[in-house]
């Protein structure tokens, strides 16, 4: 499939490259040309082909093409629990509301609920997700069918996912489908025994693989770790050799300067989740400190049970807005840095080195931002408009792996929308009945 996008404004997200007017050409899953059109003759000479027969030519009408957003932390199947257990502290929310109903969920439930989340991702310009949830195989199946790029991470803990399952999934979900990959991970220090965490670290060392985990989300979590092991979570996990091959942590709200320095040395990413942390009153992550230390900072929505929406525009605004408030400095965390977190840095945290920027030979994971809506005018600074005034309404197109999956309110996915919605409501009704009967 050869697709030509022309009359576009283009933000490649390459370092120090401003927005310019030009074209993007896509062949199958790859970008084959990005430029202003003045070097097309040279392109054909290099490619040793006289011309290209286009299957589709799309006039972008001056709208913006840019890399898709990377949702670097989510639990897609938790669409089940959207607005089901709100206005509770984190541990009450988890132990009294979330865990009991999750215990009743089946693989098929998670499959259907993940499909619902993917529809929402597409409307928000999200082209890759970093998912940690209960049934990775059914999540992978949903993403394959819907066309969503998905990096999954293990959720090993004392109660459900085991080391045996982690090892099996690592072998079965890597290298089998171009949209699907799997990395080692565990739920959190407070849900795993020391022996189990040591097993995770040993596995990561054998595979020379990065490890990912929820860490330092709440002040009480940090205090609990210090009480158990005499160290903050980051230092404790490092003492196990957990991050010898890098990795990342989700939240990092209560990280110490010592941990931040360590993470820089180890090349560990921090994925901030501002809406979830704010809604659960967990705190405001020290994003300015992360950036000053040179950490790779990415952005995640977290799950739709604690957010409750899967909207990268809201996350981007909150990242910079909350940082400015925390530091009492209106210049803190510049909007361009936030846009980088949502694209390039997310790709780095997820190991998606071919899906970070718009450039020749990169994967065609791309979105079109509609600039012809009032919230994007005037065009004083398009990139900053996206962060400060942009919304889902501005997402005109979402393309993943060279396929347009969302265009101007229409979805190009296998399932009918109303069937997906009906299935989600059937699942929550059935599971609520089961929990109520306990």
Distances (CA, A) of 275 to 236, 308, 309, 317, 358: 27, 8, 9, 10, 28
206 has a pLDDT exceeding 80: yes
Give the Cα separation of 132 and 262 in Å (integer): 25
438 has a pLDDT exceeding 80: no
Radius of gyration of the chain (CA): 22
194 has a pLDDT exceeding 90: yes
Q: Using 50, 70 and 90 to split pLDDT, how confident is the model at 90?
A: confident
Give the Cα separation of 124 and 434 in Å (integer): 33
Give tens-digit pLDDT for 289-314.
999 999 999 999 999 999 999 999 99
The H or E element that residue 107 is part of is helix 107-123
Give tens-digit pLDDT for 377-399.
999 999 999 999 999 999 999 99
Give the Cα separation of 68 and 365 in Å (integer): 6
Domains plus CATH for the chain?
Answer: 2-67+355-411 (2.30.40.10), 69-350 (3.20.20.140)
The H or E element that residue 336 is part of is helix 335-340
Q: Using 50, 70 and 90 to split pLDDT, how confident is the model at 92?
A: confident
SS3 content of the chain, % helix, strand, coil (to 5): 45, 20, 35
Give tens-digit pLDDT for 319-375.
999 999 999 999 999 999 999 999 999 999 999 999 999 999 999 999 999 999 999
Mean pLDDT of the chain: 96
What 234-239 contacts at long range (C-beta under 8 Å, 24+ apart), as own/partner pairs, is 234/258, 234/259, 234/262, 234/263, 235/259, 235/262, 236/189, 237/189, 237/197, 237/213, 238/262, 238/266
Give the Cα separation of 186 and 135 in Å (integer): 14
Write phi, then psi, for 132 (nearest 5 degrees). Answer: -130, 110
Mean pLDDT of 165-180: 98
Report yes or no on whether pTM surpasses 0.75: yes
192: which residues sit within 8 A by CB, 6+ positions away? 156, 157, 158, 186, 200
Alpha helix stretches (DSSP H) within 124-254: 136-146, 163-172, 194-207, 219-229, 233-239
Structure confidence at residue 435 (pLDDT): 87
Give the Cα separation of 395 and 64 in Å (integer): 10
């Amino acid at each position: 499939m050869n697709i030509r996008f022309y009359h576009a404004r283009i933000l490649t997200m390459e370092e120090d490259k401003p927005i310019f007017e030009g074209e993007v050409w896509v062949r199958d899953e790859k970008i084959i040309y990005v430029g202003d059109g003045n070097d097309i003759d040279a392109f054909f000479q290099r490619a040793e082909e006289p011309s290209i027969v286009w299957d589709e030519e799309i006039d972008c009408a001056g709208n913006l093409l840019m890399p898709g957003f990377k949702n670097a932390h989510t639990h897609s199947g938790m669409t089940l629990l959207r607005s089901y257990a709100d206005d509770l502290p984190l541990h009450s929310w988890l132990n009294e509301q979330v865990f009991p109903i999750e215990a009743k969920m089946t693989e098929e439930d998670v499959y259907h609920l993940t499909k619902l989340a993917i529809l929402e991702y597409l409307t928000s310009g999200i082209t890759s997700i970093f998912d940690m949830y209960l049934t990775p195989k059914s999540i992978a199946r949903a993403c394959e069918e819907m066309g969503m790029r998905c990096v999954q991470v293990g959720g090993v803990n004392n109660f459900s996912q085991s080391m045996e399952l982690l090892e099996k999934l690592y072998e079965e979900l890597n290298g089998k489908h171009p949209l699907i990959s799997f990395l080692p991970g565990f739920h959190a220090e407070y849900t795993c025994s020391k022996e189990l965490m040591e097993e995770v670290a040993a596995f990561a060392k054998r595979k020379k693989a990065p490890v990912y985990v929820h860490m330092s989300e709440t002040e009480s979590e940090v205090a609990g770790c210090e009480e158990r092991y005499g160290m903050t979570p980051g230092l404790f996990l490092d003492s196990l050799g957990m991050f010898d091959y890098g990795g990342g942590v989700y939240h990092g709200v209560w990280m110490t300067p010592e941990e931040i320095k360590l993470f820089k040395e180890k090349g560990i990413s921090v994925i901030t989740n501002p809406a979830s942390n704010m809604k659960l009153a967990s705190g405001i992550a020290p994003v300015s400190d992360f950036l000053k230390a040179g950490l790779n900072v990415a952005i995640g929505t977290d799950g739709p049970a604690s957010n409750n929406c899967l909207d990268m525009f809201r996350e981007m605004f909150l990242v910079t807005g909350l940082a400015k408030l925390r530091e009492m400095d209106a210049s803190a965390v510049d909007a361009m840095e936030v846009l980088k977190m949502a694209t390039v840095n997310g790709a780095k945290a997820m190991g998606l080195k071919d899906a970070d920027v718009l450039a020749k030979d990169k994967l065609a994971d791309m979105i079109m931002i509609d600039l012809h809506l009032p919230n994007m005018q005037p065009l004083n600074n398009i990139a900053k408009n996206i962060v400060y005034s942009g919304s889902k309404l501005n997402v005109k197109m979402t393309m993943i792996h060279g396929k347009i999956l969302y265009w101007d309110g229409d979805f190009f996915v296998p399932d009918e929308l109303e069937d997906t919605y009906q299935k989600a409501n059937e699942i929550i009704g059935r599971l609520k009945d089961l929990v109520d009967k306990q």
